[in-house]
Structure 1
């Protein structure tokens, strides 16, 4: 085969430039692939001063370059970060300058359940590090509550379960329902407010935060940081009864006790009235037996005292004699104490005479006057020194002042723009110049320039 058979002439080929090739590839991608959704992990996130975002979206097997321009990324409600799982709505394109295949992103959001789960784990780690989950902060529950407050939805199944169990086990305990939303954006602020109101009311001795089961999104108000901190700040013990037994929320970790269900919370809070009645019946029998034994012992003691009873007159005579003796001792003690006080008073008066506090005050006043005179003298001396230093500084300033030079017959020559002229080369004949003297200023015209 000849070489001429292998290579055809350039006129027989459809030759494209690189830019033409990239432009055709871009048109094919953008016209044949519609706007689509893509999920992946962010990496190489870059945010230059232009305001555009550039990053790579990847999974465990592949990656693709992405660009999100400023007019679209301003609508994103979070700051993208390395390793974040996101869901993108984008169109496929190609960057002609480098021939890079890329996605032009129109919309970005955190990827569903994964985002909530990461937020849950991040908040859990943060609060755990601050010690909000530590057992040392857990408050004991009352053995028999006097008044229970249940914070929950007034129409949900959770409150019906709690009230049913409380009525069955111990109906005498009063229960107050504080109604709140348990799902949606308004739930967390209402729960926080309810906890604060219950603490300020002064009516309750234990709180129950209850809700039925649901998805992670449904239970999210109980994973809010504001709710966790309100539970931690509660001065009343709080039982968390949120969701089913397999559901865990941040509120469960901060609460003083976590109940697997709302019904279980009611079981844990109050004892069974039937058990208490049986216990009281046993105590009644024991009390009756103890009273009978005590009465028998008192009856025996009364009989023994009756045999030893004497006439009360003898006892009164003994007490009268004892009272007379105590009276004499009291009189002698008072006289002795008065004598000691009088002697001590005389001694103190003798010690006081040489002290003469008036003389001491006079001496102190003289010292104050001397110190005042010395202070005035030091102030005057300091002022004279400062005046001398000021006069010396003025003299030195006048020595270096250009005005002093003018006084000796010199002048400062400048052009109309007030630029100082130091050389004849800066002017030409006919130019106007100014000459500043020690007194006044001259406007001159250059007639001739001498070498």
Structure 2
């Protein structure tokens, strides 16, 4: 047999009782501790000495059993109820026979509203310092989402307000509703689970988390750190519609869009069909007027262009230029004829003067011009008989021609 002081091996394992005893020793050495959690179950029968509680961590799926004297529960003011946040002073106990751990409490203190609000304020400052409230990280909600995810209580007024108002504004909107607890210890894990499901759905474009009004304690799950971080990390825009206008849980600051009430959320996640129809009609009218105005402007401009002389009578300028050409051509022709007539008259006058002064007229009156050939063989006009000798050949020119002659006799 293996002693308890020896290390366990595959060949020398410890028996279950040894392991249980060692675990019990470790747990008992822990001593009394203060534990905070949310009460999820109370069993305090009047005729029993011991009350049994279940204490749960609101930010994780972890719970522990708590036992305490029955009078400790009965004497609490206000009475202890499920969902209440408490601080317990207890000593961990290990039940050897069943191998379970529980807390044996000797004090139970309800966490006051002031303390709860102080914790929420501290968490708000922490998340704000990390940038989870920054407007730059908030995503715009789609104008007309193809699918809307709704996380709310089952058959709640918040569910009805969101659905009725959204469908009244846009009848064809499609919802995927996941009902969860919206207060108490199960609210945070159920809402986070629903958020993961809707965020993974490709048909969902926006997620609405809605709850009606309630006390500060009822709205505490929507100021839970784990839920706020899950909303911040979601890939789908999240709309917060928690409580009434004065209610501002931390979820309102982390969400991409904060709505004052579930009714307001139903109005803001989808457009109003009547308003959009009227806007389309107005845009159509504006477009029609703008188009008509543009056409009228272009028509007037076209009329102005067409009314210009060059386009109103495109052949007129050509015809006028042709008339000008004809006029100038006729003027040039007349000027040329006048010049020619003048020159002709001058030529005729010169010819007449030349004729009157020339020998032809004299010859025509019976005179003759006698020419002889000089020593060089050139014809010369005979002006004196001494210029030729007998037998010289002469040329006699008369009015209608010339004849040849021979000089006879003596000169003189």
Q: Scaled by the length of structure 2, what TM-score is found?
A: 0.45
Which structure would you say has the larger RCO, counting Cα contacts within 8 Å and 6 or more residues apart? 2
Which protein has the bigger helix share?
1
TM-score by length of 1: 0.42
**Quick check: which has more Rg, 1 or 2?**
2
